[in-house]
Amino acid sequence: MDEKYRDPFTENILANIPLEIRRGFSSDQLTALRTALATAHDRSRHMIDARVSIPLYFARYYIVFLLGRDLRRSTRKILLERRRDSSQAAGFTLVFTLIWNILFVLLVAGFVIIYYLKSTMGIDIFPDMHLWDIFRT
């Protein structure tokens, strides 16, 4: 195994893979995975890569400053499309829910108005039984 690909980042990623799955990797697969992770995490892609660790009495903090050419245009475009799609779905769900709530309120209000009109006109559909009697029992 080439020691150049045994950096803490790669080892941390591999440590997060369950042991029974890691044991199933062949040495070629592990080498390919370590190579892919190491090149994906390659620090030479930035013109300036300043990393400072600040040890304090109770904790240790770090500061990272990276400067380089932005190569994420296609990634950014995909993320923006996903956000747009999800916001459209959320908007549709919101409008759908609002319409159904408004229809429900209108339906209940319509029943209340019809019941009030029926009562004021003296129409008794079920003699000796009123709506208030149903709610009290």
Q: What does the pLDDT look like over 88-134, one tens digit per residue?
A: 889 999 999 999 999 999 999 999 899 888 888 888 777 777 767 77
Looking at the structure, tell me whether residues 13 and 61 fall in a common domain: yes
Instruction: Supply the range of the domain harboring residue 88.
Output: 74-136
> Looking at the 3D structure of the chain, how many domains does it have?
2
Looking at the structure, tell me whether residues 132 and 99 fall in a common domain: yes
- Among candidate residues 19, 39, 67, the one where a domain is terminated: 67
> Do residues 67 and 47 touch, judged by C-beta distance below 8 A?
yes
Looking at the structure, tell me whether residues 54 and 89 fall in a common domain: no
pLDDT at 108: 95
The band of 70, judged by pLDDT with boundaries at 50, 70 and 90, is confident
More confident residue, 103 or 28: 103
Strand segments (E) across 7-96: 48-55, 60-67
- Among candidate residues 14, 42, 67, the one where a domain is terminated: 67
Give me the mean pLDDT over the 71-98 stretch. Answer: 87
pLDDT at 80: 85
